[in-house]
Amino acid sequence: MSDQDHRSFAPPLRMLMGPGPSDVHPRVLAAMARPTIGHLDPEFVSLMDEVKRLLQYAMRTDNDLTFPISAPGSAGMEACLVNLIEPGDEVVVCRNGVFGGRMHSIVERAGGRPVAVDDAWGDPVDVDKVEAALKAHGDAKILAFVHAETSTGALSDAARLAELARAHDCLTVVDAVTSLGGVPLEVDAWGLDAVYSGSQKCLSCAPGLSPVSFSQRAVDRIRARATPVQSWFLDLSLVMGYWGGGAKRAYHHTAPVNAIYGLHEALLMIHEEGLERSWARHRLHHEALVAGLEGLGLRLRGDAAHRLPQLNVVELPAGLDDGAARRQLLDDYGLEVGGGLGDLAGKVWRIGLMGTACSRRNVLGCLAALDDVLRGAAPAAGKGLGVAAALAAYG
């Protein structure tokens, strides 16, 4: 191998409008490039406290146990489940897309007994079916569901599901990976117990961290465990000594220092904008994008009442070569949109409007690119009608 085979990696500039990661703001990237300090340095310890306060703001909670797990969203999912489940526990798991299915397999691996409540992909979780399952399984300890299903674009009623769980003496495990920052998420007001999210969706931070928050009821359940958590790394009784230790933090693992700088900056940006304004921005650009997609003659999937603003699932015109068209978007426009998962593969695209990527510039740029790439395939493509419809929606 010659010396020439190795050089620095220079990533192309992209517009990230898929299911995540979303565009990372230059302020966040700049923060991540600051000098690394020790993870027990007093300055870093105060930054951790600040990250916790900003996360509490973003998640609307006073929960003391609120911090980022040093791993992606799936690790947050696993942390919530393995800490709350003891072998033999019944767990009602709602499956209306890919991520509910992932929760179901973690429950099995953690020794729990999953009770699946299945809904069609694209539908929100059916509250009546959940109530029936909770009634039929009086011993169930946990209700687990996905708030915003990124695989299908469906938003479920987390407030109502949490109310049902409480009425049946169950704790809730809630996937808020895609909801946090993009749509209202009220951890305390809705009484959610174990909530996990991800850094790379509507927080617009680099991938690799999973903010989590645990209610007092969840902490009490963990403290009362009869069996040890089967994962050492994710055992919160050990992690608490690091993230919850106040002045006397003990070594647990080396925190990803520069990743935390990035998360801090991303949370700061949400705080500066204001959470409600961030939710409103996601709605505004979603409505313009939908108008534009319809202007191109495309159809969105799912009932408008349950559609996520930050993840738009659009049906592909018949006969379109999915892979080739997405490749053209990437090559000619630097635009990444997501393909369909599971049964939806080759049938839909998932167009994300997450965090920094949720802007007028991206909406209009995406519609212009689709207008070109779908020429001849979508009914109205090639005529500029998508961009016109979006501009009209902006008013």
Ligand X SMILES: *Cc1c(COP(=O)(O)O)cnc(C)c1O
Instruction: Give the x/- contact pattern for ligand X in 15-34, rule: CB under 6 A.
Output: -----x--------------
Instruction: Give the x/- contact pattern for ligand X in 361-390, rule: CB under 6 A.
Output: ------------------------------
By CB under 6 A, name the one of 32, 91, 125, 146 that touches ligand X: 146
Q: Of 80 and 390, which CB lies nearer to ligand X in the complex structure?
A: 80
By CB under 6 A, name the one of 67, 99, 242, 279 that touches ligand X: 99
What sign does the CA torsion over 28, 235, 222, 250 have? negative
Q: Hunting for tokens 């996360």 — which residue is that?
A: 55
Report the alpha-carbon distance of residue 327 to residue 321 in Å, rounded.
10
In the bound complex, what is the minimum distance in angstroms from residue 333's beta carbon to ligand X?
Answer: 24
In the bound complex, what is the minimum distance in angstroms from residue 373's beta carbon to ligand X?
Answer: 25
Residue 244: which residues within 8 A CB-CB, separation 6 or more? 64, 65, 67
Find out whether 303 and 120 touch, Cβ atoms under 8 Å: no
Q: What tokens does 388 get?
A: 């016109």
Q: Which residue is nearest to ligand X (CB)?
A: 73
Q: Hunting for tokens 């465990």 — which residue is that?
A: 225
Q: Hunting for tokens 């409540």 — which residue is that?
A: 117
Residue list 204-223, contact with ligand X (CB under 6 A): 207
Backbone angles phi, psi at 196, to 5 degrees: -130, 150
Q: How many residues lie near ligand X (CB under 6 A)?
A: 13
**Choices 59-67, 72-80, 122-130, 368-376 (CB under 6 A): range interacting with ligand X:** 72-80
By CB under 6 A, name the one of 61, 70, 83, 150 that touches ligand X: 150
C-alpha distances out from residue 237 to 142, 222, 234, 247, Å: 19, 8, 9, 17
Residue list 169-188, contact with ligand X (CB under 6 A): 175, 177-178
Each residue of 66-101: b (16+ CB within 10 Å) or e? bbbbbbbbbbbbbbbbbbbbbeebbbbbbbbbbbbb
**Chain centre to alpha carbon of residue 316:** 24
Residue list 269-328, contact with ligand X (CB under 6 A): none
For residue 100, what is the enclosing H or E element? helix 98-109
Report the alpha-carbon distance of residue 50 to residue 294 in Å, rounded.
43
Select from 275, 251, 264 the least CA-distant residue to 205: 264
Binding status of residue 153 toward ligand X by CB under 6 A: no
**Choices 42-50, 67-75, 81-89, 351-359 (CB under 6 A): range interacting with ligand X:** 67-75
In the bound complex, what is the minimum distance in angstroms from residue 77's beta carbon to ligand X?
Answer: 6
DSSP conformation letters of 108-123:
HHTT-EEEEEE--TTS
In the bound complex, what is the minimum distance in angstroms from residue 274's beta carbon to ligand X?
Answer: 24
Q: Of 150 and 213, which CB lies nearer to ligand X in the complex structure?
A: 150
By CB under 6 A, name the one of 57, 74, 113, 168 that touches ligand X: 74
In the bound complex, what is the minimum distance in angstroms from residue 316's beta carbon to ligand X?
Answer: 21
In the bound complex, what is the minimum distance in angstroms from residue 46's beta carbon to ligand X?
Answer: 27
Report the alpha-carbon distance of residue 68 to residue 263 in Å, rounded.
9
In the bound complex, what is the minimum distance in angstroms from residue 70's beta carbon to ligand X?
Answer: 12
Binding status of residue 72 toward ligand X by CB under 6 A: yes
By CB under 6 A, name the one of 198, 211, 256, 295 that touches ligand X: 198
In the bound complex, what is the minimum distance in angstroms from residue 48's beta carbon to ligand X?
Answer: 21
Binding status of residue 338 toward ligand X by CB under 6 A: no
- Strands (E) across the chain are located at 15-17, 65-69, 90-95, 113-118, 142-146, 148-149, 154-155, 171-175, 194-196, 210-214, 311-315, 335-339, 348-352
Q: Is 350 part of any known ligand binding site?
A: yes
Find out whether 168 and 134 touch, Cβ atoms under 8 Å: yes
Report the C-alpha dihedral over residues 57, 62, 66, 67, rounded to 10 degrees: 40
Q: What tokens does 125 get?
A: 């979780």
Q: Of 99 and 190, which CB lies nearer to ligand X in the complex structure?
A: 99
Give the annotated binding-site residues: 350
Residues that bind ligand X in the complex, under the rule CB under 6 A: 20, 72-74, 77, 99, 146, 150, 175, 177-178, 198, 207
Give the annotated binding-site residues for substrate: 350
